[in-house]
Amino acid sequence: MGGHSSWPEWVYIGVVVAILVWVGADSWYIEHLIDHAPAEAEIIKVTGQQWFWSFEHADGTKEVGELHLKKGHPYKFEVQSKDVIHSFNIHDYVVLMDAVPGRINTVWFVPDEAGTFPIQCREYCGLLHYNMRGTLYVEEL
């Protein structure tokens, strides 16, 4: 290595490592941020089964294929499955969580816009997977 300067290599390594460290730190922070549901979030039990979604509110009200929520209020979904693996998705609110038999997965969000939004299964779960849809109705308080 006599007479050979290696500083460009070190700059190169430094730039790439710095970017990768930032990627890891930022992703960890965001994951941490969206992972913790507020204490006042209303729990809604979401059950996936071939080929429909059913919902149970905290007060015991049940809904099938449609879900009525209030704008500006936090909700925590407890997602589970009765048969095969499904995936609960409200695309417009970037809510996506697998429904796995024998397991309860959680995800929370706050609807900030009134209107109707599609709910869709995002894990191929059999013949009528394409039709495993529902509708989210967000109502003004």
Mapping DSSP to helix (H, G, I), strand (E, B) and coil, where does residue 131 land? helix
Interaction mask 82-121, another protein, x per CB under 8 A: ----------xxxx-------------xx-x---------
> Does residue 23 belong to the site contacting another protein (CB under 8 A)?
yes
Element (H, E) at 22: helix 7-35
Choose between 4 and 127: whose C-beta lies nearer to another protein: 4
Contact residues for 115 (Cβ-Cβ < 8 A; gap 6+): 138
The residue within the footprint of another protein, chosen from 5, 6, 10, 26 (CB under 8 A), is 26
Residue type for position 65: G
Whether residue 51 is preceded by a cis peptide bond, meaning omega within 30 degrees of 0, is: yes
**Which chain residues interact with another protein by CB under 8 A?**
2, 12, 15-16, 19-20, 22-23, 26-27, 30, 33-34, 38, 74, 92-95, 109-110, 112
